[in-house]
Amino acid sequence: MPAGLAPKLKLRIGTRGSPLALVQARQVGADLERLGNGEVTCEIVTFTTGGDKLTTQRLINAGGKGLFTREIDQAVDDGRCDLAVHSLKDVPGALPDGQALLAFPKREDPRDGFISLTGVKSARDLPEGATVGTASLRRESQTLAMRPDLKIVTFRGNVQTRMKKLEDGLADATYLAMSGLERLEMTHVAVPVPISDMIPAAGQGIITVAARPDDLDPAVVDLIKSLNHEESRLAATAERAFLVELDGSCRTAMGGHARLEDGKWLFDGEVLEPDGSRRWMQADALSGDVSDEALAGLGRSIGERIREAAGGDLPAFEDD
């Protein structure tokens, strides 16, 4: 337990109320209690965010990135929660004033998972003109880049809701993040999509703990930071820099993925036209023993090169 931690401390953790979000928040709470050696208890406080209220719309029609974090961020700001647990891919590039991302536990599988109840294993193998359900502009564009003939319908909702929509025949296939399926012990329902086909969203597979460090006891900040998995934290550093460089929003289809492989940091990034007709891809590498600044520079460099290749202005989806 970090020195100076007050005895019998209660920490309130803000999270969405979906089954996956609760699994993530409860794991963070359990880890904090374990690392606090019995002197810390955690209370889960759930919120229904703006993103949770959407059932048929794309995010761009309701305010874009931040819809899954805004209400929880406000609760941290006004003291109703001490910290928040988010899926990193839902966190906007710009954080609320005074907030920081203090911890990045170990990343799960960052790939997308393809799901079809017909036994088809890939979007490439779907019948001509088949329907794919997704609310992700990135997945929509990447799917159309592989198969321009496919039809895209908007799928929103948590894992269970989307599976039910498939069962009801509202689409022939859909996607879910493999990381979420891992945490829910449901990986058997999906086939991982190669990163060469679908570069994941920046931060996919990583959860993060946000708080206002200046409002917390330094020993509590140290406790939260003890959740860090260093490789996951460094990957998040590169991917967040990429996102910020491109001013990543829910209007542009983009993917960015950093990973440590064979002693090197590799980064793949791309931006796509909404209809998948063009994609601008860049990749680069650094030696494995590098600083946070170098990894952030890697992410920014990929973003800069993509913007230059795309002619300066990134393609964007329009409101429906």
Condensed to tens digits (0 to 9), the pLDDT of residues 24-49 reads 999 999 999 999 998 999 999 999 76
Strands across the sheet with 264-272, in order?
253-261, 264-272, 279-287
85 located within any domain: yes
Q: Answer whether residue 315 is part of any domain.
A: no
> Cα(135)–Cα(165) distance, rounded to whole angstroms?
13
How do residues 168-194 score in pLDDT, each as one tens digit? 999 999 999 999 999 999 999 999 999
| Same domain as 237, residue 223 | no
Say which range, 233-237, 251-255, 270-274, has the weakest mean pLDDT: 251-255
269 shares its domain with 213: no
| Domain annotation covers residue 158 | yes
Cα gap 14→266, rounded to integer Å: 33
Same domain, 193 and 243: no
Please give the pLDDT value at position 41: 96
230-246: pLDDT as tens digits: 999 999 999 999 999 98
pLDDT band at 311 (very low <50, low <70, confident <90, very high): confident
pLDDT reported for residue 318:
62
Q: Answer yes or no: do 118 and 247 share one domain.
A: no
- On whether residue 319 sits in a domain, the answer given is no
Q: Give the sign of the dihedral formed by CA 97, CA 75, CA 57, CA 158.
A: positive
Number of structural domains in the chain: 3
Q: What is the pLDDT of residue 93?
A: 86
DSSP for 213-271? GGGS-HHHHHHHHTT--HHHHHHHHHHHHHHHHTT--TTSEEEEEEEEETTEEEEEEEE
pLDDT of residue 268: 98
Q: Say whether both 11 and 102 belong to one domain.
A: yes
Close Cβ partners of 210 (under 8 Å, ≥ 6 residues apart):
73, 76, 83, 84, 85, 86, 91, 95, 99, 100, 101, 102
**Greatest CA separation found in the chain?**
64
Q: Same domain for 94 and 117? A: no
pLDDT tens figures, 98-133: 999 999 999 999 999 999 998 899 999 999 999 999
Q: Is 90 a catalytic residue?
A: yes
Expressed as residue numbers, the domain containing 45 is 7-106+206-228
Any idea what the CATH number is for the domain that residue 180 is in? 3.40.190.10
Looking at the structure, do residues 221 and 81 belong to the same domain, yes or no? Answer: yes
Set 90, 112, 172, 268: catalytic member: 90
Q: Is the dihedral of CA 276, 122, 22, 24 positive or negative?
A: negative
Amino acid 102 reads L
Give the dihedral sign, CA 179/103/95/280: negative
Q: Are 133 and 154 in contact (CB under 8 A)?
A: yes
- Residue 2 within a domain: no
What DSSP string runs through 58-115? -GGGTT-TTTTTHHHHHHHHTTS-SEEEEEGGGS-SSPPTT-EEEE-PPP---SEEEE
Is the residue at 320 inside a domain?
A: no
Q: Taking the model in full, what pTM does it have?
A: 0.91
Bridge partner residues of 85 (DSSP): 209
